[in-house]
Amino acid sequence: MPKVSIILPSLNVAAYIQECIESVIHQTLTDIEILCIDAGSADGTYELLQDYAEKDNRIRLIHSDRKSYGYQINLGMDLAQGEYLGIVETDDCIAPDMYEVLYQTAADKKLDYAKAGFYTLVTPYEGEQYLLENPLGSTGHVISSEYFTDCALSPDVYIWNGVYKLSFLRAFDIRLNESAGAAFQDCGFRYLVDMNLRSGMILDRIFYKYRRDNAASSTYNPNFVRFNLDECRYLRKKMAETGITDRARRAFIARETVMMALSPYRTFREHSLPDEGILSALEEFRQIMVQDRAAGLLRQEEMLLDQWIEMRLFTEKPEAYEDYIAVRAKANYDIYANFVQDMRKKEQIVMFGSGKAARFAMCLLRMNRLENIVAVCDNDHRKWGERYMHCKILSPQEAVRQYPDAQYLIANKTCPKEIRKQLTDSGISLEKISFYELPLNAFGSTNLFMREK
C-alpha cells in the first residue's frame, strides 16, 4: 500500500502539466502512487502524461469519459490504494517536501487530515515568478468538526492543500459533486469533510502553489453563482442522505451558504454586471437563506457582523443590496485600480524595499503590465547586487544617483516615514515619493481583471 495516492485531474493543460507533474514525481516522499485522470485533452496533455507514465511506474494514466472535475476526482478515489489521498490541480505545482511533511504528521498523530497554507502563483512575464503567501490560522493543534461548527466562517476553503485518510473519506461517503465542467465542485467535498472530521491539523507551513494567471481557471468563470448553487443543493442532499440533522452542523452550513453566495458575487461585481441567469440563481440562494433563518439556523450572535448585515440586506431588501454591493465592489476595485493607474503615469519607478510588501507591490504592477519599474533599492547592504525579479538591488545612494528624477515607491511597512526622510535628505522631492499602502492580500495583488485591454 502506498503512503499517499495523488490524483491529478487534467483537461487541456499542456502549458502547465510538465511543471505540475515534475513537482509531484520529485517529492521527497517516494512511496506514492500518481493517478492521472485525463478527461479527453486535445492539446497534447494526454501525450505528455503518456511519456511520464512510461518512465515512472508509480504513474497510472486513466481516461475519464466525462468532462467533470468531480467525476474525475471520484474516479481517482475509487482507484486509489494509498493510506492517504492528495489532490493536485494540473495547472498548479507543489513544494518537494509537501507530502512527506503532511503524511508524517497525519500518520504520527492518526489524523483524518493534515493541511497547510498555500501560495498564489503568477508568472506575468517570462522569467518572472511571484509567490504570495496565504497562511492559515489555528495551526498546530488537533481540531474536529466542533472547531468548524463554532466558527463564524471556515478558515480553509480549499481541498488541494492537504492529505485525507482514505478510510475516513470512504467511511463517511465523502465524494465530490459530479456536475459538468471544472468549477467549484470541491465545495460540497470540503464541507462534508469539515462536518465529519474527527481529528485534523493545520500546519504552520506553506507548500501548495495555486496558479492565478490561468485565464481558463474556474476562478474567473462567470457562471460561479450557478455552480455554487448546484454545490449547495448537492451538499444539503448529501446531509439528508447521511443523517446530518443536528442544529450545530446545519447552522454551520447555513452560515457558509451565505459566504458561498455573496463572497464570490462581490468579486464578480468588481468587473461585471449580472445577467438573468446569475440573478435567478441569487434569488434561489435568497430563498434558501430565508428558510434557514426561519429555521433558527442564522443567528446574529453566531455570525460576523458584516456577514449578518449583508445577509439581512440581501434577503430583506434586494434592490438596496444591489446598490450597496455595486458601491462596495467599485470601492474594492478602485483601491487597486487607482493605484495601478497612478503608477502607470510615472515615467520611471524605483521600488524602495525588497521584502514582503515590495513583492506584493511588484506583483500587482507587473501583473498589470507596467514596464516602468527601473530599479529596486534597499537599506540592507547584504542584498546589494542581488537580483530581485527583473531588477538588480541597488543601495539607496546608488539608486538616487542613477535615477534622480524617478518616482520612489516605498514598499515597507516597518519604517516608511523614516525612509521618506532618508529620500528627501538625499534630494528627492516629496511629490516624487509614494507609499505602497494597499493590503497585503494575495488575491488582490494577482487580480487579472485590472489589466488594460
Q: State the CB neighbour count (10 A cutoff) for residue 387.
A: 9
DSSP 310: H
pTM of the model: 0.92
Q: Is 171 inside a domain boundary?
A: yes
Q: Considering the chain, what percentage of its residues have pLDDT values greater than 70?
A: 96
Q: Report the number of distinct structural domains present in the chain.
A: 3
Q: State the CB neighbour count (10 A cutoff) for residue 402.
A: 14
Q: Is 191 inside a domain boundary?
A: yes
Statement to judge: residues 46 and 110 lie in one domain: yes
| Three cell numbers written together for 194 | 469539515
Statement to judge: residues 277 and 414 lie in one domain: no
Q: Is 453 inside a domain boundary?
A: no
pLDDT at res. 451: 43
Statement to judge: residues 364 and 284 lie in one domain: no
Average pLDDT of 11-19? 96
Statement to judge: residues 27 and 61 lie in one domain: yes
Residue 186: pLDDT band (50, 70, 90) is confident
Residue 180: pLDDT band (50, 70, 90) is confident
Final residue in a domain of this structure, among 337, 356, 388 = 337
Statement to judge: residues 101 and 176 lie in one domain: yes
Statement to judge: residues 317 and 378 lie in one domain: no
Statement to judge: residues 321 and 350 lie in one domain: no
Statement to judge: residues 282 and 314 lie in one domain: yes
Q: What is the CATH number of the domain that holds 394?
A: 3.40.50.720
Q: Is 120 inside a domain boundary?
A: yes
Final residue in a domain of this structure, among 337, 357, 384 = 337
Pick from 303, 295, 185, 316: nearest CA to 250 = 295
Q: What is the CATH number of the domain that holds 54?
A: 3.90.550.10
Q: Is 449 inside a domain boundary?
A: no
Question: Amino acid identity, residue 139?
Answer: T
Final residue in a domain of this structure, among 196, 221, 246 = 221
CA distances, 314 to each of 88, 284, 310, 445 (Å):
36, 12, 6, 28
DSSP sequence for 265-304: HHHHTTT----HHHHHHHHHHHHHHHHHHHTT---GGGS-
Alpha-carbon distance of 19 to 214, in angstroms, equals: 14
Statement to judge: residues 78 and 197 lie in one domain: yes
More confident call, 258 vs 274: 258
Q: Is 446 inside a domain boundary?
A: no
Q: How many residues does the chain have?
A: 453
Average pLDDT of 194-207? 97
Contacts of residue 62, defined as CB under 8 A and 6 or more positions apart, other chains included, come to 35, 36, 37, 38, 75, 76, 79
Q: Is 226 inside a domain boundary?
A: no
224-242 helix and 186-196 helix, angle to the nearest 10 degrees: 40
Alpha-carbon distance of 255 to 289, in angstroms, equals: 9
Residue ranges making up the domain that contains 425: 346-437
Cβ contact 132:439 at 8 Å: no
Statement to judge: residues 330 and 305 lie in one domain: yes
Q: Is 24 inside a domain boundary?
A: yes
pLDDT digits (tens, 9 = 90+) for 357-412: 999 999 999 999 999 999 999 999 999 999 988 889 999 999 999 999 999 999 99
Which stretch of 289-293, 301-305, 348-352, 438-442 has the lowest confidence by average pLDDT? 438-442
Statement to judge: residues 187 and 262 lie in one domain: no
Pick from 118, 135, 96, 99: nearest CA to 7 = 99
Statement to judge: residues 84 and 171 lie in one domain: yes
